[in-house]
Each structure stands twice: as structure tokens, then as C-alpha cells.
């Protein structure tokens, strides 16, 4: 493609993007295609010769777009949101154009130093300890894996990195509500799934410190070292917050690494009224939250903070001749701060977002969502036919249709069908979980453009499809 053609197509695409964002509400939120519909339209072999851009873009619109679920649609309430925003998209265009691979400082000094500064900015915005060191990871799953590996290496004084596992036995603790990425990390890091202890939760779905202490004591008595405890602020099913201060104290008592996963809830730390959920966070050894979920920044951007930078670097450091540089002692070479060598220039979109919205714009974004969730909760309670199944402490409402005349098994079917009818309508997209065995519908109000009118529309849909 000639640069003159690129210029022309880029203008055309930007117009398409602006139209898409303007008309987003006209699309069905969840894609309506059936399995195999898309692949059946794609040629089995690559083209032998290059095709015209007009043809590629036509197929994007005709073949690909029907198979897209619209994550930025204001009526997307499923899972957790994956916020995007215009300044973030613009930064991503520049990132793609620059095409920089930012593995070490000299492969793009601006990328390394902007990342360092953006992590300082995020720490200030969220009230994190100033002495922590931050790095952008691709996902929270990777960050939690890094935490386990660093905990492992710190405890064994880097013996496992050198010699592999010996006879030592470890246990890792989360709650029954901890995200599945912990289980994945436990497997990948070589502990084996049997090393994972799922600690019971209280009425609010928060980890019970007394149960944690008891589990640790049982393990110690059996000769198993309590390596790491993972607490969550904003659990995936119900946004519960584990009591960080009490858990941190237990970790200190038994010498366990304390990792806090706030992949979703972490963005709420920008609000003073949400800070109590993070009480005790300063006791953590490592912390992750995802601006790519709820802070207007395109996927992928996961902010990982550690207290002990040296322990992190020693765990991941490699020094082949071809990566040595004269500035190694003076700069951050982020290749040594996690698993991958190659890295995208992710700090740019964060810079564009934080400067475009400012602290007050981001606070308003989060505060509006929390208010909409409470509005939705109150409306469901006022209706009288719905049950709220978990405390609403952020912007997620867990509920079910629960008229008195239906038995438990019938409620399960009624709610699954209710959700599917709404999702099938294309007018909203909800997802579900299970809380204390009950089929639970989740509505997360985290979209950049969601307004009270959309919440009213969702309430109307629920009544219409009962
Ligand atoms: N932790 C929590 C609490 C989550 O809710 C999620 C995803 O929703 C994750 C971790 C995994 O996030 P990622 O997709 O960034 O790995």
C-alpha cells in the first residue's frame, strides 16, 4: 500500500470509527451469529495475490461486523466492561503507526520513561504507597503469575529458578470467590492445583481472616510453607472486597507474600468515598488493577505495582549479550519486569486518557457508574419481585427474579430464560454467576456512555421479558 493510499484509507476509517461510535446503539449488543457463521464465509486459503483495500474493508463490514459483540455499547452490562475512549483509540493509532517494540529503554526511551511516569500518576490518583514501583502488564492474570513467581523465588532465595523444585511444599490462598486466574497461575508456576486453598467467605462474600489463619496453621503443622495469599478488591462474581488489613497482618505473621488483585475494583480507588475498600493496601507486596477495565483505557493495560523491585527483577532477569546496553544501570528495562520480552507501547494511551479526562473526569466516570448501580438496585427493590443477592458496593448489581410462588429449581430456569430472552433481543447484554448456589444475574454499569435512561430501559426490558 502506498502512503498516499494509506492516507486516503485512514481518513475513511476514522470517519467510519466516528460513525460507529455515534450509531453504536443501533447495533444488537450481543452478536446474533451462530457458531461457524463467520468461518464459513472466510476463504480456506490465503489470497495468492494482494487484494484491494476497498474489498478488504467491505468484507470487514459485511463479514466481520455481524460477528462482533459491541463492548462499548451503553447497554453492555455483562461480565465487567472493557472501557475504551476516543483519546485512548487515538493513542492506539499512533502506537500502531510507530510500531515500536519497547522491550528495553534504548528501543524507545520515551516509552520506558513515559511508562515510569504514568505508574507514578496512577499511584497518586489511587492513593498507593509512593515507594511502590509500577509496570504495565498485558493482563491481571499475568500480574498474578508474576506475583506467585516472585514470592516463590524470594522465599527460596532463587533456588527454584536455578535448580527447579526440590522437596519443599507450598500453599497458596485465595477465597472461594477469587478469580480463576489464581488457579491458572498456581498451575503454571509449578505448585500444582492441590496447593491452592480456597478460603470460606462471609455474608458479604469477603474472605474470612479467621478461616485463613486456621488454614495456614494447618499447613504449617503439616510442613507446608504458606507462600502467598491473594486478596481481592472487587471479586468477579459480586465485587466483594476482602479485608486487606486483617489479611495483611496474617501474611506478616506467617511470612507469606501478600498479593492484592483489584483488576476491576482498583479504578474505584480514585474516589475518596471508595478508599475504605482498600484499607490496609499498604501492607501488600504486590498489587494489580486494570485501567483497561474501568478507566477508559483500551485493552491491554494492566497496572502492576510491587514493593520490592529488586525481588521482581531478580526473578525475571535475563542478560544475553545481544540485550546488554551501556545504560542498563540507569534506566528501567521493562523486559525484566515480567514474562514477555517484546512489549507494546502501552503507556501512550494511558497518558492520552489521563490528560484528556484529568483526575476529576475519571472520578466523575466512576462515581456516575456507582450511582447508576444504586439507582438500579433501588428500582428492583421497589418493584418487589426481585431479590438482591450481594451488597452493592461499587457498580455491579447481582439479582434475580424471585416471585414468592416459584420453587428454587423453577427460579433457576426462570432467571436463565429471562436473561437469555433479554440478551437475544439485542437491546442489552447481561451475564450470570452463581452466589451461594443461586443462579444470579449480574448487571455491571461501567460503560463510558451509559446514562440513567439506559438503566430505565433495562428495567423496562426486565419487566417486559418476565
Ligand atoms: N481478577 C479479577 C478480580 C477479575 O475480575 C478478572 C477478570 O475479570 C481478572 C482477574 C482477570 O483479568 P485479566 O483478563 O486482565 O487477566
Q: Distance between CA 463 and CA 396 in Å, rounded?
A: 19
The atom of ligand 1 lying closest to the CA of 141 is 16
Q: Name the residue among 290, 171, 173 with its Cα closest to residue 236.
A: 290
Q: Distance between CA 236 and CA 179 in Å, rounded?
A: 6
| Pairing between β-strand 170-175 and β-strand 386-388 as defined by DSSP bridges | unpaired
Contacts for 216 with CB less than 8 Å, ≥ 6 apart: 171, 173, 226, 250, 254, 256
- Specify the pLDDT at position 13: 98
Maximum pairwise Cα distance, the chain: 75
Q: Distance between CA 55 and CA 443 in Å, rounded?
A: 39
* Secondary structure of residue 304 in the 3-state scheme: strand
Cis ω for the linkage preceding 411 (within 30 of 0): no
Q: Distance between CA 380 and CA 402 in Å, rounded?
A: 11
Q: How big is the chain, counted in residues?
A: 466
| Pairing between β-strand 170-175 and β-strand 225-232 as defined by DSSP bridges | parallel
- Specify the pLDDT at position 446: 98
62 secondary structure, DSSP code: I
- Specify the pLDDT at position 323: 86
What separation in Å is there between the alpha carbon of 142 and the centre of ligand 1?
A: 10
The answer to whether residues 151 and 207 touch, using CB atoms and an 8 Å cutoff, is: no
The answer to whether residues 208 and 200 touch, using CB atoms and an 8 Å cutoff, is: yes
**Model pTM above 0.95:** yes
- CA 279 to the chain's CA centroid: 21
Q: Distance between CA 242 and CA 279 in Å, rounded?
A: 10
CA angle 68, 70, 75 (to 5 degrees): 150
Q: Distance between CA 306 and CA 313 in Å, rounded?
A: 11
What separation in Å is there between the alpha carbon of 454 and the centre of ligand 1?
A: 26
| pLDDT digits 0-9 by tens, 121-155 | 999 999 999 999 999 999 999 999 999 999 999 99
Q: Name the residue among 251, 80, 230, 264 with its Cα closest to residue 145.
A: 230
Complete DSSP assignment for 347-387:
HHHHHHHHHHHHHHHHHHHHHHHHHHHHHHHHHHHHHSSEE
CA R_g for the chain: 24
| Pairing between β-strand 386-388 and β-strand 302-306 as defined by DSSP bridges | unpaired
Q: Which residue segments constitute the domains of the chain, with CATH numbers given?
A: 101-344 (3.40.640.10)
Q: Distance between CA 301 and CA 138 in Å, rounded?
A: 6
What separation in Å is there between the alpha carbon of 81 and the centre of ligand 1?
A: 11
Cell triple for 377: 438496585
- Specify the pLDDT at position 39: 98
Hunting for cell 484529568 — which residue is that?
358
Find the residues whose C-beta lies inside 6 A of ligand 1: 80, 139-141, 179, 181, 232, 234-236, 261, 263-264, 290, 302
The atom of ligand 1 lying closest to the CA of 264 is 5
For a pocket test of ligand 1, which of 79, 146, 178, 179 has the largest count of ligand atoms closer than 8 A to its C-beta? 179
How many CB atoms lie under 10 A from the CB of residue 455?
Answer: 22
Q: Name the residue among 283, 281, 282, 285 with its Cα closest to residue 262.
A: 281
| pLDDT digits 0-9 by tens, 340-350 | 999 999 999 99
- Specify the pLDDT at position 224: 98
- Specify the pLDDT at position 451: 98
Hunting for cell 449488543 — which residue is that?
29
For a pocket test of ligand 1, which of 80, 83, 140 has the largest count of ligand atoms closer than 8 A to its C-beta? 140
* Secondary structure of residue 21 in the 3-state scheme: helix
The answer to whether residues 226 and 173 touch, using CB atoms and an 8 Å cutoff, is: yes
Q: For 168-241, where are the E strands, in sequence order? A: 170-175, 196-199, 225-232
Q: Give every residue of the chain whose pLDDT is below 50, as ranges.
A: none
What separation in Å is there between the alpha carbon of 261 and the centre of ligand 1?
A: 8
Q: Distance between CA 144 and CA 250 in Å, rounded?
A: 19
The answer to whether residues 307 and 289 touch, using CB atoms and an 8 Å cutoff, is: no
Amino acid at each position: 500500500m502506498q502512503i498516499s493510499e494509506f492516507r486516503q484509507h485512514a481518513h475513511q476509517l476514522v470517519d467510519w470509527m466516528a460513525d460507529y461510535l455515534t450509531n453504536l446503539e443501533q447495533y444488537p449488543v450481543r452478536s446474533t451469529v451462530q457458531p461457524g457463521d463467520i468461518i464459513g464465509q472466510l476463504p480456506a486459503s490465503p489470497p495468492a495475490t494482494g487484494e484491494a483495500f476497498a474489498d478488504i474493508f467491505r468484507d470487514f463490514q459485511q463479514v466481520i461486523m455481524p460477528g462482533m459483540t459491541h463492548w462499548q455499547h451503553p447497554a453492555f452490562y455483562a461480565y465487567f466492561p472493557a472501557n475504551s475512549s476516543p483519546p485512548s483509540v487515538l493513542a492506539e493509532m499512533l502506537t500502531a503507526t510507530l510500531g515500536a517494540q519497547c522491550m528495553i529503554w534504548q528501543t524507545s526511551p520515551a516509552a520506558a520513561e513515559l511508562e515510569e511516569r504514568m505508574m507514578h500518576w496512577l499511584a497518586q490518583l489511587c492513593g498507593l504507597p509512593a515507594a511502590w514501583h509500577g509496570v504495565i502488564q498485558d493482563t491481571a492474570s499475568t500480574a498474578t503469575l508474576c506475583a506467585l513467581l516472585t514470592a516463590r523465588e524470594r522465599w527460596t532465595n532463587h533456588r527454584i529458578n536455578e535448580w527447579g523444585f526440590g522437596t519443599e511444599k507450598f500453599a497458596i490462598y485465595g477465597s472461594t470467590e477469587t478469580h480463576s486466574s489464581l488457579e491458572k497461575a498456581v498451575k503454571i508456576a509449578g505448585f500444582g492445583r492441590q496447593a491452592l486453598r480456597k478460603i470460606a467467605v462471609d455474608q458479604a462474600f469477603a474472605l474470612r481472616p479467621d478461616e485463613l489463619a486456621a488454614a495456614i496453621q494447618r499447613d504449617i503443622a503439616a510442613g507446608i510453607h504458606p507462600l502467598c495469599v491473594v486478596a481481592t478488591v472487587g471479586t468477579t462474581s459480586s465485587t466483594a472486597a476482602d479485608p486487606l488489613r486483617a489479611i495483611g497482618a496474617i501474611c506478616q505473621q506467617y511470612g507469606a507474600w501478600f498479593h492484592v488483585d483489584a483488576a476491576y475494583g482498583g479504578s474505584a480507588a480514585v474516589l475518596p468515598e471508595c478508599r475504605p475498600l482498600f484499607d490496609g493496601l499498604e501492607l501488600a507486596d504486590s498489587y494489580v488493577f486494570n485501567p483497561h477495565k474501568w478507566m477508559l483505557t483500551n485493552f491491554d493495560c494492566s497496572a502492576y505495582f510491587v514493593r520490592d523491585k529488586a525481588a521482581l527483577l531478580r526473578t525475571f532477569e535475563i542478560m544475553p549479550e545481544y540485550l546488554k546496553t551501556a545504560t542498563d544501570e540507569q534506566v528501567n528495562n521493562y523486559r525484566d519486569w515480567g514474562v514477555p520480552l517484546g512489549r507494546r507501547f502501552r503507556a501512550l494511551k494511558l497518558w492520552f486518557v489521563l490528560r484528556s479526562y484529568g483526575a476529576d473526569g475519571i472520578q466523575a466516570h466512576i462515581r456516575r457508574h456507582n450511582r447508576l448501580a444504586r439507582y438500579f438496585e433501588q428500582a428492583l427493590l421497589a418493584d418487589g419481585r426481585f431479590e438482591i443477592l450481594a451488597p452493592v458496593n461499587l457498580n455491579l448489581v447481582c439479582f434475580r427474579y424471585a416471585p414468592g410462588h416459584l420453587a428454587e429449581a423453577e427460579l433457576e430456569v426462570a432467571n436463565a430464560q429471562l436473561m437469555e430472552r433479554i440478551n437475544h433481543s439485542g437491546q442489552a447484554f447481561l451475564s450470570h454467576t452463581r452466589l451461594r448456589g443461586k443462579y444470579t444475574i449480574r448487571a455491571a454499569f461501567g460503560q463510558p456512555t451509559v446514562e440513567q435512561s439506559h438503566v430505565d430501559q433495562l428495567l423496562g426490558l426486565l419487566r417486559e421479558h418476565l
